[in-house]
Amino acid sequence: MPYQGIKPVQSVTLVGTGTVGADGSASERITTDVNHPISGMIVGVHITYDASAPATTDFILGDGTGADSQNILTIANGTDDGWFYPSANVHASDATQFPSEFQAFYFNGPLVATILQVDSDQVNTVKVLYV
């Protein structure tokens, strides 16, 4: 068994229903099912922006809705579809950051994609790969 212990890559896709608000300041939060939490380490994120997304479009992927949630991926003024590979900083026991050391983000619970500063009625899609 050469692949014993290797977990298969899983995915979850968050599809927006349409941003709400005035053009240039509309927004939307897309959340995975909070009643069925998912957990793992993120290995990739694919964003498909609405075809007419303005240059002011901001995107944030976070790992929950509580006070202890963290941003996993933040993109300011982005409109180009593509794959992104977010990573977390690594810290020593005294909280100093190891330079040039990174690891995948671990999450347990809902994932939340927030799209900001867009036009109304735009639909965006986010696919998250995790193990």
What pLDDT is recorded for position 34? 78
**Torsional sign, CA 91, 100, 66, 11:** negative
Whether the per-residue pLDDT at 48 is higher than 80: the answer is yes
Q: Of all residues in the chain, what percent are helix, strand and coil, respectively (each to 5)?
A: 0, 50, 50
Token readout for 97 is 């950051």
How far apart are alpha carbons 3 and 74 in whole angstroms?
34
What pLDDT is recorded for position 37? 80
Domain range 12-130, CATH class: mainly beta
Q: What is the mean pLDDT of the chain?
A: 90
Whether the per-residue pLDDT at 52 is higher than 60: the answer is yes
Mean pLDDT of 40-56: 94
Asked whether the beta carbons of 70 and 86 are under 8 A apart, the reply is no
Compare 100 and 23 and report the one with higher pLDDT: 23
Mean pLDDT of 11-32: 93
What pLDDT is recorded for position 1? 53
Mean pLDDT of 1-18: 82
DSSP state of 63: S
Proportion of the chain above pLDDT 90, given as a percent: 63
- Cβ neighbours for 25, distance < 8 A, ≥ 6 positions apart: 117
From 49-63, 84-98, 114-128, the region with the lowest mean pLDDT: 84-98
What pLDDT is recorded for position 83? 98
What pLDDT is recorded for position 33? 85
